[in-house]
Structure 1
Amino acid sequence: MTSKRTRDRLVERLLEQGVTSQFVLELIANTPRHLFLDEALSHRAYEDASLPIGFGQTLSQPYIVARMTEILLGAAGDPKRVLEIGTGSGYQTCILAQAVEHVWSVERIKPLQDKAKQRLRHLGLNNVTYKHADGGFGWPEQGPFDAILSAAAPRDIPKSLLQQLAPNGVLVIPVGADEQVLTLVIRDGEEDKFITQKLEPVKFVPLLSGVTR
């Protein structure tokens, strides 16, 4: 289930789908995805599929985690301060924490975030700060951020997130209701305007308001 061959097959599938960053592929290969699932589903951990984690949420498929990470790192250069909207299982958090200096992660469902904290502590990752809050507001007290990644889809891009981007900062976010598009927004540091690129169709859980204890 967790053999090198199993993980190598996953990496081969990601390569076939167009993920090109060797750094990101190595992160995916070396991160124990089975630890981010309940035991009953752990045998499916290295499939390229999204899987349920409870509370109506999902563990994103490895392709989309790799793709969003690759886009973020490629557009932001060498981001130090990254905000994540939606801690979820902690898998995307784990990938980001191995790639950047510090991650601030916001999650509206407290039991999910508590479990994610335990997992990342177990893996020795101490460069993540967590907040139980409504993700649509971001974390303005800790901004500005070099990059923001959202693991949930709003109907429209929240202005509050755009305002928390540093000059030349980037936002990677799925946008839309019935039809969602992975979107990259870059804050132009010279003219202080936002440049938006629509990248590819995706399917994420919606970005909901409010919190759950």
Structure 2
Amino acid sequence: MTEMLINWLEWSPQLFKGLLVSVQLAGLALLFGMPIGLILALISSSKNRLVRHIAVALVEIGRGAPALVVLQMVYYGLPASGLTVSAFTSGAIALALTTGAYTSEILRAGLNAVPHREIEAGWALGMTHQDVLRFVVIPQGILFAVPALMGFAIIIFQATALTYTIAIPELLARAYRVGAATYLYLDVLILAGLFYLAITVPFGWLVSYTERRLGSHLG
């Protein structure tokens, strides 16, 4: 046990660097993916049947395709189309696309949860449809969706581990690198798991706290 702790102290700086890469990937995926999800949520509620069906089809394809498959398609597909991007950029794009597909349903549920009487009140005040969306529906819909979006943020952070398959030096990739050098795979993977837990457990508590506070406020 003492030897394991000594090894952990030695490996921790390297794994911490990988953790920072994982956090950056998750942050970029959420930063660019959630606006995509909001756009898809709005389009999927369009009165135009063709536009609505296209949006729904994109969401279903995005949700049905495993994140690993999307990652590989982006990583190998972009260079094949003539675009030269780094592995990190490919990983961020792939995770953002997956984020957009999943958060679209979360946000659509939030938008649908806005009381119709408040929409009618906006119309009664002479607001246009765009103004009602901008000032009434979207702000409140996002507020309703916050706990679920925060919960999804944990999932997408965990999904960053998939990017080790395209040689991004995130947490799991660095753990495997240490394991390959020392053959102590179990020890280093336990440490990597603790690093993941150091992020996901406190954030999970924050999600629960936010859900209670918003439930009390919105109730």
TM-score higher than 0.5: no
Higher strand share: 1
Compute the TM-score of the two structures, normalised by the length of structure 2: 0.23
Larger Rg: 2
Larger relative contact order (CA 8 Å, sep ≥ 6): 2
Higher helix share: 2
Compute the TM-score of the two structures, normalised by the length of structure 1: 0.24
